[in-house]
A = this chain, B = another copy of it.
Amino acid sequence: RYEPLLIEKRSETVEIDDAPLPEELTRDELTMAAPAEPELARHYTRLSQETYGVDSGPFPLGSCTMKYNPALLERVASDENAAVHPDRPDESVQGTLEVMATLQEWLGRIGGMDAVTLQPPAGAAGEYTGLLITRAYHEQRGEDRTEVVVPDSAHGTNFASAAMAGFDVVELPSGDDGRVNLEALEAAVGEETAALMLTNPNTLGLFERDIETVTEVVHDAGGLVYYDGANLNALLGQARPGDMGFDVMHYNVHKTFATPHGGGGPGAGPVGVREDLAPYLPAPHVRETDGGTYERYEPAHSIGKVHGFEGNWLVLLKAYAYIRRLGDEGLADASAKAVLNANYLAERIDFEVPYGPFHHEFVASAGDRDAADVAKHMLDHGVHPPTTKWPELVEEALMVEPTEAESRETLDLLVAAFDAAGDADADALESAPHRTTASRIDQVAAARSPRLSWRALDDGGSRTDP
């Protein structure tokens, strides 16, 4: 059953005429939805049931690491003592600061980094922060480096973050094996190079075998190497960006450390750096004092701030709980099982996977089928489909990341969904899905005449619905 908008169910307009302010400072009236709590509860209960989450079934969205979000994390984050104002003096929030300091330390160990800021509120914000640090670092050294090198297979955020930080983007073509081509890299890198941004394993799931050479080439040119942490779930305990020569990195705690994705956020994107970059971290940073207490301070050459306060604290707290719960063995096992699951799934489905050996994710090709159609067809099997049509290195790409949280049973469910789409004829593919809340949505039409609020609707409202 179709769910009307709240405002279609019950709205109310209030005239504002006896406010405790002069009339010229206030608005005249206010119109809003005005449901009673029982109506509100049913509305959002129904909306939730029309939403597919990890708790609904497998969610192998490539590069998104949609792993199970432990209930424990929500309990921990609901602690009343976690609910503090950011301007509380340090001495009155020692608990909060201790959690932050410890998380900084743990993330440093996990990434092989010397110092970590928790302030960036998302992965892309982490990239941006890392690039601001890069910029400040070069400036401090009196160097004017204007270019950031980004492989063509990189996440779109890499390009956008570089541009937002004021850099020119130099795109690096991938080699035939799907990895960095060292010759192309040497050609791209030079005295204008502020940094190379790289994710490893890359978006094809391939480990950059020449990573030590790659980082050396960039370092030799005076640039820094940035690690995009989106794929860190492949490597926990197996390898560390710091050990590979990366200078700066971000962590996606909502990917690697199981904090919920929340329909699009909030996440958190802490940034780790090697020791000589630590003075550039955002303010405030948290440290333990000699006396064993914790304090906030401004690093010597701080880039200033990338968030109005100190980032997405409640998300960071959940990541802290996850890391503590798993410990060394749990973290390493998470990556091991994530890689096992990707390999098992790729082996079982009837789709070509052109590049390998891959790790926690792989990119299959839908061949002469439209990858988006394949995805829509999979919806009718009650699973979430993979990321589609990207990276473009693979024709009609299906980018698959099952994560460690799927059992063999759910992977087999995915196999069935993949293969049903593989066997479907053109009509079946194009008309799918049929069993979902909405059938195929015309996104082109929606973009052509955008209707972005209820006031823009002209479809007569919910009452016209059958």
Contacts and interface: CB of A to CB of B under 8 A. Distances in A.
A157 interface: no
Interface in A6-46: 9-10, 36-39, 41-42, 45-46
A438 interface: no
A409 B46 CA distance: 16
A334 to B, nearest CB: 12
A39 B407 contact: yes
Contact of A71 (B41, B55, B57, B406): B41
A56 B37 contact: no
A37 B70 contact: yes
Nearest to A67: B38
A150 to B, nearest CB: 35
Given A37-B68, A68-B37, A55 B49 contact: no
Interface in A392-410: 405-407, 409
Contacts of A45: 55-56
A407 B68 contact: no
A279 interface: no
A405 B55 contact: no
A88 interface: no
A70 B70 CA distance: 26
Contacts of A57: 42
A39 B70 CA distance: 11
B41 A55 contact: yes
Interface in A119-150: none
Given A9-B409, A49-B49, A382-B1, A68 B55 contact: no
Nearest to A381: B1
Nearest to A42: B55
A57 B36 CA distance: 14
Contact of A36 (B37, B46, B382, B407): B407
Interface in A378-394: 382
A9 B406 CA distance: 13
Contacts of A56: 42, 45-46
A71 B37 contact: yes
A282 to B, nearest CB: 35
Given A45-B55, A55-B45, A38 B405 contact: yes
A405 B41 CA distance: 12
Nearest to A49: B49
A10 B410 CA distance: 12
A350 to B, nearest CB: 23
A13 to B, nearest CB: 19
A53 to B, nearest CB: 9
A68 B41 contact: yes
A70 B42 CA distance: 12
Contacts of A46: 56
A463 to B, nearest CB: 11
Given A45-B55, A45-B56, A409-B9, A38 B68 contact: yes
A405 B409 CA distance: 43
Contacts of A70: 37
Interface string A48-86: 010000111100000000001011000000000000000
Interface in A334-374: none
Nearest to A406: B38
A66 to B, nearest CB: 11
Nearest to A40: B71
Contacts of A42: 55-57
A37 B258 CA distance: 13
Interface in A173-195: none
A463 B249 CA distance: 47
20 contacts: A1-B382, A10-B409, A36-B405, A37-B68, A37-B70, A37-B71, A38-B54, A38-B68, A38-B406, A38-B407, A39-B407, A41-B68, A41-B71, A42-B55, A42-B56, A42-B57, A45-B55, A45-B56, A46-B56, A49-B49
Interface of A: 1, 9-10, 36-39, 41-42, 45-46, 49, 54-57, 68, 70-71, 382, 405-407, 409
* Ranked 4 nearest A-B pairs via Cβ: A38-B68, A38-B405, A45-B55, A41-B55
